[in-house]
Structures are given as C-alpha cells and as structure tokens.
Structure 1
C-alpha cells in the first residue's frame, strides 16, 4: 500500500558528499490519527548492494569471506568480520554485480544465482537496500584465488565451512554481520533442511 499521500517533503539538504552522501530532510508525516507532524531526519545514502551465499549441497558447505571492517572495529569488534561475499551495485543490475563481486572476492565463477529476498540494512538511518542471492557452486568453479582488490584496501580470506559449522559460528557470536545471518538462516530453512549447529563449535 502506497504511503506517498502521507508524506510532504519540504526540503532536503546535503550535509556531506565525500564518499557517500549524508542528507537532512524536513517533511510532514500524516500520523495514524490523521494529524500532520513536522519531522527532521538525517539519512546516509551509500547506494544499494548485493550479497550471495554460495552453497554446495553435496558437500554441505558454504562460502564465507573474512576481512577487516573499520566501522565494526571502531565499535568494539576486535576481530576480522565473517561475511558472505557482497558489494555495492554501482549502477549495475544486482545479479550481474554479484557474479562479478563473488569472483573478485572468492575466485568462484558462478552463473546461476537465485534472488531470495531484499532487506534494508538499517532503515532508520541508512537508505541501503541489499539484494540477497543464493547460488550453487562446486570446487571446479574456482578459477582464481579471490582476495579482492589490494589497491582498494581489500585483503580477503576465503573459507568453506560446513553449514553446521557456519550455524555454530552464528550461534556462538563468531558471525555478527546481518546479511550473513539472514542468508545462513535461509540456508538452514530451505537449502539444508534439518541442519543444526555442530556441538562444541
């Protein structure tokens, strides 16, 4: 259901446009009781992104990457972050972009990618929408070392845990990235029915 008739935008001011864009919007919003309320909100626009969980149903493995994320580190996460491969769309179609990104990060070249859901990463402050995919892979699909682009500061390690070990890392706090948590939960429900975290992992 459209809510366009409940929002009247008065002004949008750009506060910062260095690498991403920070804006302040002033608008009126019609509340559920019919009253109009003036509000001011800041939003961070970094564009939309795509993410993928590669899975091998025969070996019961998934592909994760491990890398340094300064914002997480600055918020007390004193470890490299475990994630699914992902990247900004940069005006490309989501399916095309994720194929390129997964090969750059992991070395795996996949053709069949299936969209499973879209999610706003932090809708109270960030405009980003993440297009989430799954894709089957086999060991023979790896055509390069991956690792990302060193010139862009990427230093990516590729892991192939079992789905059980990945779920154990999720349960024990070893995985803190939201898109990765959602895609692993999807895998447990739909790709590896009955999968449970390995005890003691």
Structure 2
C-alpha cells in the first residue's frame, strides 16, 4: 500500500453485531427489521441502527446471444414499479428469474430462457454478480451470457399461472447498444449484462470456441 493510501474494505461481517431480527411481513416476499451495531472507521462502535430489509431471495439474468447473426434475444413485459418514472412500463429486458431452493443459477438460466423466450441455451458464460440495492434488499443477481440460435426466436411466452405476458424481440447487437444511449433500456440487469458483454465480447467468443 502506498503511503497515505486509505485501507479498502478493512471490515468484514465479523464487524457487525446483529442485536435483533424481526419479520414484519411474510408473503411471496419477506420484510425483516434489523437492529445492529457496526465498527466505525475512526474506531469504536456505532449507536444502534434500525433498518427494514426486503428479502426476496437471489436471482439470475441471462443475455441470450447468437454469434452467427450477431443478435441478442430480448424480452418485453410490463413492470408495475416502472409506472412512476417511465412513459411506458413495458420494459425491454434480458431473461431473468428467481433462484428457488435446490436450484443452481445455471439451472435457472436454462429454465427461464425456455419459459420466457422459448430458447434452448447451448452454452453459458458467467459474467459477474452484483447486489441489486444493498441499502434495502439482500438480493444478489448473477449475470450470464447464453449462446443461442436466434433464428427462430419470436412470439409471446411466459407462464399463465405467474401472470406472465412476454414478447420476444431479436435485436442486432449494435442496435441494443444504441438503445442504452437512447434510454430505451433502463433496467439494471439488462444494462449491466449488455455493457459487460460489450467490454468482454472477444473473451466470451474465444471461450465458447474452445468449449
């Protein structure tokens, strides 16, 4: 470490004391109230901090890509949370889904690609994982790139019992990146997946060619 440089992430989970944990709501999702103390950068311990945390489990998002056509397969569906800030709550997204107990992230990628877009993923490449909004939820998303044949991607998909109504789009890669700059794609998982792929495309293609 260079002289004068501050320590990065000097603390760990051992430096937080959970004093209480109370379930406020238990439905499809769960809301939990935590009371805790944590170590301070200048030494000692904080006062008691109380926070409500949304616990919805963890999830995957997979960006289907056809390297022959140089196209992504994206989906469009309505999102109620987009209404306050969007001209249209029908969002352009990547395939995504919640990881159920006993499933691996890769299992969910394959299942959701079939359910939401009618796609069979031939190969998967793990991109990264991130915390969606750690100030208020425990959710971690795992991002993948999926090798697909996009030539037959079309139609409306989704599970009726989950009230899904999902329209499939084939999108040239250059168009998808333009849509980011134009604000047509503005949800976190899709932005992160597309931007990561733009930065790492050659690495992914080389890996697939050797698998």
* TM-score in terms of structure 2 length: 0.85
Equivalents in 2 of 1:146, 1:78: separation in Å? 22
Task: Report the number of matched residues.
Answer: 191
Is residue 155–residue 167 contact of structure 2 (8 Å, CA) maintained in 1? no
For 2:22 and 2:87, locate their aligned partners in 1 and report how far apart those are by CA, in whole Å. 35
Name the CA distance, whole Å, in 2 between partners of 1:48 and 1:25.
19
Check 1:189–1:137 CA distance in 2 against 1; reply closer, same or farther (3 A cut).
same
Match of 2:188 in 1: 178
| 1:113 partner SS | strand
1:161 aligns with 2:139: no
Match of 2:33 among 24, 34, 47: 24
- Counterparts of 1:145 and 1:176 in 2: how far apart (Å)? 23
Q: Which residue of 2 aligns with 1:125?
A: 136
TM, length-normalised to structure 1: 0.89
Kept after mapping to 2: 8 A contact 1:147/1:158: yes
The gaps in structure 2 that reach 5 residues or longer are 1-9, 204-211
Deviation at 1:162, TM superposition (A): 0.6
Partner Cα separation in structure 1 for residue 147 and residue 17 of structure 2: 45
Gaps of 5+ in 1: 194-201
Q: Which residue of 2 aligns with 1:113?
A: 124
Q: CA deviation at 1:140?
A: 6.2
Contact 1:109–1:141 (CA<8 Å) still a contact in 2?
no
Q: Distance in 2 between matches of 1:184 and 1:5?
A: 35
| CA distance, structure 2, for counterparts of residue 3 and residue 61 of structure 1 | 42
Measured after TM superposition, the shift of residue 136 of structure 1 is 1.1
Q: Name 1:77's counterpart in structure 2.
A: 86
Residue 161 of structure 2: aligned partner: 151
Supply the distance in 1 between the matched residues of 2:70 and 2:20 (Cα, whole angstroms).
52
RMSD: 1.8
Q: Measure, in 1, the Cα distance between the counterparts of 2:182 and 2:135.
A: 27
Q: Tell me, in whole angstroms, the C-alpha distance in 1 between the residues paired with 2:63 and 2:70.
A: 13
Separation in 2, partners of 1:188, 1:58: 16
Is 1:12 aligned with 2:21? yes
Q: After the TM superposition, which parts of structure 1 deviate over 3 Å for at least 4 consecutive aligned residues? A: 139-142
Q: Secondary structure at the match of 1:24?
A: strand
Q: Aligned partners of 2:104, 2:92: CA distance in 1, in Å?
A: 25
